[in-house]
Amino acid sequence: MRTLVKEFGLAVRDLRAARARSQEQLAELAGLSRSYVSEVERGTVVASLDTIDKLARAFGLAAAELLAQQDARLQKPLAPPDESALPN
C-alpha cells in the first residue's frame, strides 16, 4: 500500500542515489544519523518539518521542492499486478 511516508522515503532514496551519495554522506550533510536516514528512506518514521528541511538543504533544494518529488511519485499509477503470480 502506498503511503505519504513511504513515498517520501522513496523520493529521498531516489534523489540520494541519483546524486551518488551514501546514506552516511547524506546524513552528515543533513546533520542526521545514518540510521535515521535509513528509517526515513524505508518509511518507518514520519519525518518532521525540520528533518524535511534538513534533507532538502542537503540536496540543495527547498523543502517544497523535495516534497514535490514525493508528490510526483504519488501521481504515478500503480503497476498492474503480476498476473503470473495470481492463483489459477
Q: Report pLDDT digits (tens) over 59-78.
A: 999 999 999 888 777 777 65
According to the model, what pLDDT value does residue 10 have? 93
User: What is the CA angle 30-27-74, rounded to 5?
Assistant: 80
**What is the structure's pLDDT at 12?**
96
Angstrom distances, CA of residue 56 to CA of 7, 82, 84 = 15, 35, 40
Q: Which three cell numbers stand for residue 48?
A: 518532521
Structure pTM?
0.80
d(CA 4, CA 60): 22
CA distance 22 to 30: 12
Domains of the chain, each with CATH number or no CATH: 4-74 (1.10.260.40)
The pLDDT assigned to 80 comes to 62
Q: Is the pLDDT of residue 36 over 80?
A: yes
Residue 27's identity, in one-letter code, is: A
Residue 65: per-residue pLDDT:
93
